[in-house]
Structures are given as structure tokens and as C-alpha cells.
Structure 1
Amino acid sequence: MNRIVTSISLSLDGFFEGPDQDIDWHTVDEELHQHFNDYLRTMGGFVEGRVTYELMEEFWPTADEDPANEGPMAEFAGIWREMPKFVFSRTLESVGPNATLLHEVDPEQVRELREAASGDLVVGGAGLLESFRRHDLIDEYRIYLHPVILGRGRPFFRDAEERQMLRLIETRTFGNGVVLLRYETVRAS
């Protein structure tokens, strides 16, 4: 059965973006970028909110045309173009090639997308992730802890109405100090 996976970079103090929505503190070197490529190319689709989609769509479709972007960066441009995308937005009227526009998070529709996909779906975007978490749609968390303390910014985990138990299934330390903590959601039988 396909899974819904979230992949998020966090500061050690739990922020996914800095006080000015900055992410320049992400420590993504060639090793980590190649790791992202290796697992993202196996996905069945990217599920994104409007902000994430627009940021990605602004850069990645043609990133490999720039000679300065080589290796894993150029490789990811191809992964991005080819991967089906499901974009949740109440304001967008259209999306680009290989993308499907959805307006509301309907848990049954999301489960149908998951089952119809050719592999796991990876979900991104802070608001969308929160909505998926509230609807108990996230099967796996891939948390990449970066060796930085921001002190302030936008926290990843917001107030939850219910406790969610997780099971650690993998850890990995990268040469740049980033640590992957991979958890699966534990659901009552």
C-alpha cells in the first residue's frame, strides 16, 4: 500500500523557516541533495500547497538549463518536471504541466490519490501538512534536523488536539551534520 510521507528540514529548535520566512540556513550539500534525489525519484507524486508549488515551479522546471546548476541540482530538475504534482489551493485557477489542481483537503479523495499513485506521495507546505496531520493522513515523517538554532521563526508542529504516537524506523547522519529522523505513524488497531 502506498504511503503519504512528509519530508521537512527543521532547525534544532523546531523551526522550518526563519523569522522572515528564510530557509538559507538549510545545510544542503551534494551528499544530502543526492539522498533527496534518490528517494524522491521513487515517489508517485508531489502533494503541495500553493506557496510551495509556486516556489518550486519558479525555479526547478528549467534549473538544469543553467550551467551553474550541475550534479544533483540538475538531476532534481528532471525529477521535478516528470513527477506528477497535486496542488491544493483555494486561490489558484490553473497549474502547470503534469499538475492537478485540488481546492479542498478531502480525506477520502486524498486516500484515493494515494492508492492510485505509482508509489508513495510526498507532501509539502506548512499549512497543507498541518491539514493532513489533523486528518491523520500522514503515514511517515522524514525530519531532517539541521545543525542550527534559529531562536525564532515558524515552528513545524503546532498545537495538536490529540497525541500522535510515532515509531522510529531509521536514523542517518550526513557529513554536513544534518540528521535524518524517520518515523512512521502508529495507529490504533
Structure 2
Amino acid sequence: MTTGEITLYIATSVDGFIAAEDGSVAWLEEFQSTGEADGGEGSYEAFFADIEALVMGATTYEQVRSFGEWPYEDRPTYVLTRSNYPRATDAVEFVEGEIDGLATRLERRHDRIWLVGGAQVVRGFLREGHVDELRLSLVPVLLGRGISLFGESDQRRELELLENTTHETGIVELRYEIGG
């Protein structure tokens, strides 16, 4: 039996927003053209090469599908939803239910799991204690308002800095281990 690790790897504005109020991530486009929206050239590729499965919410799933070709190859992708959507590939599975039960099943089935987003799913995984590592790419933008990554919470979590990388574009990638 394996005990997989779940990593939240996500880009956020310096003021903590992952999207504009309308859900748009267009503000990331200028950094994507440089290859650094994900923290830097090679950073995402190295991370993704080690990933066995992905988990995301329905809104994130629909947004990724709208970008064109499915970027996650044939890796198992679990989409939390109560609705029916077209499957991007045969590797996509729609799931519903409690996050704690789903996370436990995924941790038993896969060694390295990427928690892609969105904000509600992230908050649920954090609340249930199922995020082992946090990788934030802080994009040098203050959006002022939008969809907050963490929102408000009554839980305090200690973070241990494992690594930080600064890129020429001003993006700072922070990698933390999450304590209890």
C-alpha cells in the first residue's frame, strides 16, 4: 500500500488571487510567452514528469479544456463534480463525494498527485489535511480583487520553506512542506 503525496502547484498574484473576478487567467498570458508562468523554464516540466495523477474541480477542468489540446497526456485526472461533462480523454474520471475519502483513495493509488485547482477544491483539501506540499509561483502582479486562493480560514498551518527560486521576470517560486 502506498501513501501518496498531494502537491498544490499553482500560480497566484502577489496579493493571493488565482483568477480575476470573472474567472479569467488572462493576466498570466504575458508570463506564459516567456515560459515562466509556471515558475520558470524547466520547472514545470520537471514537476510534471514526476506526477502520476491530477485532481481538479469542474470549473478548472472546463477552463483547461477551453485552452485547446488536453495538456495532461494520459495521466489519470480526477474531476470533482456532480455534473456531467464531456471527457477530454479516457484518463479523465468524474468523481463526487467527500474530499477526505477521495484524497485517501488517491493517496493509496498514486505516489505523486497534483492538486491543480480551483480555489474551492484547494480549500477543501487543505481543510481535510490532504496537502503535503505547496508550490506557489508568485506572479509580480497585484490584481486587487478576484478569486482568492486561500480565502478565510480558522485553521493555522505552519509551512517549512524547502526551496525558493527567483526568475528574471520577477516570478518567485516558493516550495513549502505543510505542517499539521
Does TM, normalized by the shorter one, top 0.5? Answer: yes
Q: CA 1:59/1:22 → structure 2, altered by over 3 Å: closer, same or farther? A: closer
The match for 1:116 is 109
Is residue 16–residue 149 contact of structure 2 (8 Å, CA) maintained in 1? yes
What does residue 15 of structure 1 align with? 17
What TM-score do the two structures reach when normalised by structure 1? 0.81
Task: Give 1:150 deviation, angstroms.
Answer: 1.3
Whether the aligned pair in 2 keeps the contact of 1:145 and 1:180 (CA below 8 Å) is: yes
Q: Contact between 2:99 and 2:124, CA under 8 Å: does it hold in 1?
A: no
The structural deviation recorded for 1:106 is: 3.7
How much has 1:93 moved relative to structure 2? 5.7
Secondary structure of the structure 2 residue equivalent to 1:82: coil
Greater Rg over alpha carbons, structure: 1
Q: Does residue 47 of structure 1 match 2:47?
A: no
Quote the Cα distance in structure 2 between the aligned partners of 1:120 and 1:60: 25
**Pick aligned residue for 2:76 from 76, 81, 84:** 84
Check whether the contact 1:7–1:143 (CA below 8 A) recurs between aligned residues. Answer: yes
Aligned to 1:30: 35
Deviations 1:16-45 (A, max 9, x none): 112332212222322525321221121011
Q: CA deviation at 1:15?
A: 1.2
CA contact (8 A) 1:43 1:122 kept: yes
Scaled by the length of structure 2, what TM-score is found? 0.85
SS in structure 1 at match of 2:79: strand
Q: Deviations over 1:137-159 (max 9, x none)?
A: 11111111011111121221111
Q: Measured at CA, do residues 125 and 136 of structure 1 come closer, stay the same or move farther in structure 2, by a change above 3 Å?
A: same
Is the CA contact (8 Å cut-off) linking 2:13 and 2:142 kept in structure 1? yes
**Per-residue CA shift, 1:67-99, capped at 9, x if unaligned?**
xxxxxxxxxx3xx12211011101126634111
Question: Can you give the 5+ residue segments of structure 1 that lack an aligned partner in the other structure?
Answer: 63-76
Match for 1:122: what amino acid?
Answer: W
For 2:10 and 2:121, the matched residues in 1 are separated by 13
Alignment of 1:1-189 (within 5 A): 1-26=3-28, 27-28=31-32, 29-31=34-36, 32=40, 34-61=42-69, 77=71, 80-92=72-84, 95-96=87-88, 97-117=90-110, 119-123=111-115, 124-187=117-180
Q: Which runs of 5+ in 2 are unaligned?
A: none
8 A contact 1:61–1:81 mirrored in 2: no
